[in-house]
Structure 1
């Protein structure tokens, strides 16, 4: 039986030997994957100050590999895992969000102990595809997340009033929310009002559109007891947060923008009632100065005040 390699949090770089064991486990001992998930040390979703800082790594499964001007920045799984290992070693980082392939790699590497593991249900409507608004879920489902002992679920729900595929997306989302509530599995909904613009799907980030998306998403499913919101930081976030009583995490901003302005916008939004933390991915894992530890530490200080 494969034994997960525990990376010393004082030295976040994963050794080549650890990667070799990871490949060997996937090749010759697939049972070691559920075993690693079954034996990892779990923690409560909410503890201490009640705030959460989650690093997101579900972009590759959507084919979204680009960061700024490099369209293949996230192409190397090994580099991504190294950056995730570094991020997860930093104080104040509560956990990670990923699709099954990423979560299972991290579990085999022993990097999920005492960390929140959020399963991404992913989306089938790939950017640029003719079927982009056919956003059926293609990653985790509630049953598999419960079986894998994950701590929360996450889904994206794009609402396009001029595309009939939205109806099926909303129905599937409602079923997922209902199933999560029945399983007592917290589920994070990331809603957007979207539209076709010159053959591309564009999310409307106006304050009014975000408020509308929150109102629609909050009502999906037969119960909302385990529903959370995952929302962008937009102008007049106070009005956005008045639209819901659901606990909310903020998602990252434009990785091409001014980092200082981004941090200020996060800091301001984190002070609002109902906002309980951040879920950020490429902006912190691939920062403009490539200093992952620095970017993660700044974000952690904004969330936890350390």
Structure 2
């Protein structure tokens, strides 16, 4: 798989710092230039997602180990973050800290990924325990908010514990005045045990209703939702600000862009949070993939 790569000197400096200066991470958090606001001057939010490896999800396209190459992943993230329309990143602590040490997060919005315990493919995958950032850590590190995955399967008892944990995290983030970005996704298991995302309007609207009501206040809550065939019904289920998630990329990037564009035209939708579809495009051109997504977001904002 082609794509950008960190130069050898930059990569060696990062590895040396990791091995010899653990307090460099704390210094980088403390001295990072903060963004002036979460929303861009255009009133939108465009983040690159990079928390997949923490849940053991390493595949991108046909390459089942794409995101296992950390040097390549970081190079792709750095290139995406250099695009003027990309506002920041959503990531697990390890990736956020590596980007900090590379100097790639100055002035950027950073959303910390909180629950990654439901490992991809595990028998307990629906048990999405909190294993990453917590609200206190997000506040201490000067991040702009925390993201949590809420997969809802009415037949899986693990869902109840995740709902409760997410509600607590929403309340704790709100006390700190920080964004809680909830990703409420309805799932079901096929007869063969395969777990599948439901993208029908009733299931997605129901998930939005559940996610919107979590915690002691919704004042700081955002929702991260997939594009769908009936965005009017789905995004009409809330007044909360929403971002469109990229999800698993299809084999047709143009089709993905079209789908995101339909969702971005909804009044509550404020932006995009996309990972693999932009970081691992079929032609390896990360800059062009990011630019195409930025144009879709800009077109939706202009039409609003």
Both structures adopt the same fold (TM-score exceeding 0.5): yes
Unaligned runs of 5+ in 1: 1-11
- Correspondence for 1:143: 136
Match of 2:9 in 1: 17
Structure 1 stretches (4+) deviating beyond 4 angstroms? none
The correspondence of residues 110-121 of structure 1 with structure 2, limited to 5 A, is: 110-121=103-114
Distance in 2, Cα, partners of 1:165 & 1:147:
30
Structure 2, unpaired ranges of 5+: none
Q: What is residue 39 of structure 1 aligned with on the other side?
A: 31
SS in 2 for 1:104: helix
The 5 Å alignment of 1:217-256 reads 217-256=211-250
Contact 2:40 2:87 in 1 (8 A): no
Offset of residue 21 of structure 1: 1.6
Q: From 75, 83, 102, give the equivalent of 1:82.
A: 75
Q: How does 1:211-222 map to 2 (within 5 A)?
A: 211-222=205-216
**Deviation string, structure 1 residues 146-191 (Cα, Å, up to 9, x no partner):** 1111112111001111111111111101000000111111011000
Q: Write the distance in 1 (CA, Å) between the matches of 2:228 and 2:135.
A: 30
In the alignment, the residues of structure 1 paired with residue 121 and residue 259 of structure 2 have an alpha-carbon distance, to the nearest angstrom, of 30
The equivalent of 2:94 in structure 1 is 101
Corresponding residue of 2:276: 282
CA distance in 2, matches of 1:18, 1:152: 29
Match for residue 185 of structure 2? 192
Question: Which deviates more from structure 2 when the two are superposed, residues 224-233 or residues 131-140?
Answer: 131-140
Partner SS, residue 138 of structure 2: helix
Deviation (angstroms), 1:26: 1.4
- Aligned partners of 1:15 and 1:66: how far apart in 2? 24
Q: Distance in 1 between matches of 2:78 and 2:115?
A: 22
- 3-state SS of paired residue (2:117): coil
- Could you report, residue by residue, the CA deviation over 1:10-39 in whole angstroms, capped at 9, with x for unpaired residues? xx8633222222112111111110100110
Q: Alpha carbon RMSD of aligned pairs, Å?
A: 1.4
The aligned counterpart of 2:148 is 155
Provide the residue aligned with 2:286 in structure 1: 292
Whole-Å separation in 2 of the counterparts to 1:291 and 1:186: 31
* SS of corresponding position for 1:139: coil
- Pick from 46, 54, 57 the counterpart of residue 47 of structure 2: 54
The residue aligned with 1:273 is: 267
Q: Distance in 2 between matches of 1:139 and 1:254?
A: 22
CA distance in 1, matches of 2:57, 2:5: 24
* TM-score, structure 1 normalization: 0.93
1:167 to 139, 147, 160: 160
- 1:195 is displaced (CA, Å) by 2.0
Between 1:289-298 and 1:98-107, the stretch displaced more is 289-298
Secondary structure of the 2:68 match is: coil
SS of 1:304's partner is helix
1:13, 1:86 within 8 Å by CA — same for their partners in 2?
no
